[in-house]
Structure 1
Amino acid sequence: MKICFLGLENLPVLAPEFNRHGIGGEQVQQTLLAKALARRDHAVSMVVYDYGQDDCACWNGVTAHKAYRKDAGIPIFRFIYPRWTGVWSALHRANADIYYVSCAGIALGLVALFCKRHGRKFVFRVASDTDCEPDKLLIRYWRDKKLYEYGLRRADAILVQSIWQQDAMRTNYSLHSRVAEMLVDTPERAVARDIDVLWVSNLRQLKRPELYLALVKKFPQLKFHMVGGPQPGFGELFNQIRREAADLPNCTFHGLVPYHEMDNKYAAARVFVNTSDTEGFPNSYLQAWIRGTPVVTFFDPDAVIRRENLGRAVSSLDEMASAVTEFVANDNVWSAASERCKAYMARFYGEDRILSPYLEMFKRIL
């Protein structure tokens, strides 16, 4: 099969030489899926931003087609040129049988219109719970919301991360979807557990980084680490969190850390903490669990943490503090949880098992 991923920000995950640019979870998922398909001899390509790379350059068997520079164009007019025209040109050069796009936004509408015109198939992958809720879409403009909804209703297949998302897509849009699990990189090597508590996320308001700093203040004797880069529109929040973290002697604020350098961080942590208000299924959970790091969080997709005992799902900061204390202070509790995390990942997240529903769905829609 010839499969093209529209993921404009994927290149920093695919190509280490560009990893100084920020990424999110869906960029990781698209890239891991693309590389896994390429290893199975499918013709795989991506449409990405122009970061200065050669057009049609190839990494790990995945060919990257440039669309446009992220900052190119004149406001108002740039919606058409270079954004619409650049994406369509790159999609055309990819000449794929199936196009794959993630996250609520205009990209889905552009792919839908392209595929309708050229007689191709396309798949949409939900990346967050908010993608399934019309009133909570993380889309700024009315025009972009309409393009998203246009594409959503014309997708040849919709994939979701959880049963909750599947139910929400059916309830809110009357659309059928299929749950498809996520891929995860295997650990490179074991390292010393010298980080007590780790937090990793892009610095946006819905990630609630201020709650993590409140947790830091409760445990001056523990070592906390915080990883997260600035996001468009949230520069002031990033600077505020960086300043507040600098005033806490037990908190190390790393800012943006490239994806390819995160293995040691997850492996060195005793506990991973998530404070988000909303998520999809966080890549960070999988990256923590596969390295034997329990997760303490407010967000528990499909109650997997409670069901499999992979850490603690909590409802308040005090509960989070209590869970952190238990895992950090009690070696027996931590060791048992760590082994459960690794066993769970070995049982359910083998690459062949994860790929199976994707391949079945691709073949079905062709």
Structure 2
Amino acid sequence: MKILIVNQHPQDVVGGSEIQCSLIASSLSESGHDVIYLALNGSRSRYDASYTVVTAQPGFQSVKQALLVHRPDVVYWRFNRRKFLESMLACKQTGTKVVYAISSFTDLLKWSHRINFQELSWKERIRIACSIQFLRHLLAMRVNYVGFYLTDGIIAQLQSQTGRLPAKKEIVIQNSIAGEREDFSWPKPYVAWVGSVKGVKNPETYLELAQQVQRDDVDFLLVGDIKNRYKERFQPENLPPNFYCLGLKSNAEVNGILRHALFVVQTSYVEGFPNVLIQAWMQGKPTIGLFYDPDDMIATQQLGYVSGNFAQCVKDTQTLIDNETLRQEIGQRAYAFAASHFNREQNMRKLESFLQEIIDS
């Protein structure tokens, strides 16, 4: 197969969907497929990758040009909905089959936005909701939603995401994680949080958790790129003595950090399927979800705790810190579950089969 993967590239923007796309591109290329990664908004002249990377801007003309030049059998689209409708029209005009891979809960919403109104005052909510910029964004997202009617298939990460989008064909293929790991050491036992430090991830609650659970024997580490609005809040002079920001780390470095963590805390309000959960389970670590539990996996498989509120999260954190036997029991279940459900080779075979089915349809 000749496959065009469309997203931003992780060497331009580090995010979960970009990391997944690069992993998929590498795996498909290793399996003998002709893979071209169309890096939208790409800023590099050269990419360090085992597959072909070309850059383009989002939009009808640039996507159409890429399709005419490379003539893929199928497009694997995992970019957001900006200029999505016109890009799908380009696929239709060139006779190219396309599958859309869901990355976030916002992909499922007709009137999609990423503003976390829960953390805003009522005045700020009214101001934003009534702003021309916000209304224009909502309208654009609603118009681009029509693009889903032009796709040939939908790939969901979770069973709960199925049946939510117009789809001729639909399948669930869960994320996979590259297993490479760089060793990491820290002078104390520690709890870990991993992700982009932005509103929907709710990082300030993790900081509040560290302030509530101040102990001399445990540190709280935050790993990830800190977005502008949070830079001042997470300056070293504004942090408690048990809290450390490690900045952006590679996938291998993150695996090493998680390998030696006591457990992982995830504070997002809602997600697609955060890579860090899979990474934590693959490293045999329990997870605490403050609110979010993808397909109820944490609860039903007993992979940690889903706290539901901050006070319970503090209690769950204390419990796991103090009970090594419990951590080991949960960690063993987590590893067994991850090994059987997020196997890279199995997921790639499933993806290959689905893409071929789309091409043949």
TM-score, shorter chain, exceeding 0.5 = yes
Return the match for 2:195 from 188, 194, 201: 201
Question: Are residue 293 (structure 1) and residue 289 (structure 2) matched?
Answer: no
Question: Are residue 262 (structure 1) and residue 259 (structure 2) matched?
Answer: no
Return the match for 1:149 from 141, 145, 152: 145
Match of 2:87 in 1: 111
Q: CA deviation at 1:103?
A: 4.6
TM-score by length of 1: 0.83
* Structure 2: 5+ residue stretches without partners: 116-133
Question: Are residue 122 (structure 1) and residue 115 (structure 2) matched?
Answer: no
1:162–1:354: structure 2 CA closer, same or farther, 3 Å change rule? same
Q: Distance in 2 between matches of 1:5 and 1:147?
A: 23
Q: CA deviation at 1:52?
A: 2.7
Q: Distance in 2 between matches of 1:320 and 1:175?
A: 41
Contact 2:181 2:252 in 1 (8 A): no
Q: Distance in 1 between matches of 2:77 and 2:337?
A: 28
Q: CA deviation at 1:84?
A: 4.7
Q: CA deviation at 1:143?
A: 5.6
Amino acid at match of 2:21: Q
Q: Distance in 1 between matches of 2:32 and 2:315?
A: 49
1:262 aligned counterpart, secondary structure:
helix
Match of 2:212 in 1: 218
Question: Are residue 341 (structure 1) and residue 341 (structure 2) matched?
Answer: no
Return the match for 1:59 from 49, 63, 69: 49
Contact 1:203 1:209 in 2 (8 A): yes
1:106 aligned counterpart, secondary structure:
coil
Q: Distance in 2 between matches of 1:92 and 1:199?
A: 43
How many correspondences in the alignment? 334
2:262 aligned counterpart, secondary structure:
strand
Question: Are residue 3 (structure 1) and residue 3 (structure 2) matched?
Answer: yes
Question: Are residue 184 (structure 1) and residue 177 (structure 2) matched?
Answer: yes
Contact 1:88 1:110 in 2 (8 A): no
Q: Distance in 1 between matches of 2:144 and 2:174?
A: 23
Matches within 5 A, 1:1-366: 1-8=1-8, 10-12=9-11, 21-48=12-39, 49-54=41-46, 59-60=49-50, 62-68=51-57, 84-138=60-114, 141-142=137-138, 144-169=140-165, 177-188=170-181, 194-221=188-215, 222-231=218-227, 235-236=228-229, 238-243=230-235, 246-297=238-289, 298-366=291-359
Match of 1:74 in 2: none
1:122–1:299: structure 2 CA closer, same or farther, 3 Å change rule? same
Q: Distance in 1 between matches of 2:287 and 2:239?
A: 26
Q: Distance in 1 between matches of 2:273 and 2:189?
A: 24
Contact 1:67 1:89 in 2 (8 A): no
1:46 aligned counterpart, secondary structure:
strand
2:234 aligned counterpart, secondary structure:
helix
1:256–1:91: structure 2 CA closer, same or farther, 3 Å change rule? farther
Q: CA deviation at 1:357?
A: 2.6
1:237-289 superposed Cα distances (whole Å, 9 cap, x missing partner): x2243137743110001233344532222222111111111101111101111
Q: CA deviation at 1:209?
A: 1.2
1:270–1:245: structure 2 CA closer, same or farther, 3 Å change rule? farther
Deviates more, 1:286-295 or 1:245-254: 245-254
1:63–1:143: structure 2 CA closer, same or farther, 3 Å change rule? farther
Contact 1:111 1:122 in 2 (8 A): no
Amino acid at match of 2:155: L
Q: Distance in 1 between matches of 2:6 and 2:342?
A: 24
Contact 1:104 1:126 in 2 (8 A): no
Percent identity, please. Answer: 23
1:193-216 superposed Cα distances (whole Å, 9 cap, x missing partner): 755211112122121111111101
Q: CA deviation at 1:360?
A: 1.9
Q: Distance in 2 between matches of 1:146 and 1:93?
A: 30
Q: Distance in 2 between matches of 1:268 and 1:94?
A: 44
1:220–1:257: structure 2 CA closer, same or farther, 3 Å change rule? same
Q: Distance in 1 between matches of 2:270 and 2:168?
A: 22
* Structure 1: 5+ residue stretches without partners: 13-20, 69-78
Q: Distance in 1 between matches of 2:184 and 2:201?
A: 28
1:168 aligned counterpart, secondary structure:
coil
Contact 2:5 2:36 in 1 (8 A): yes
Deviates more, 1:348-357 or 1:83-92: 83-92
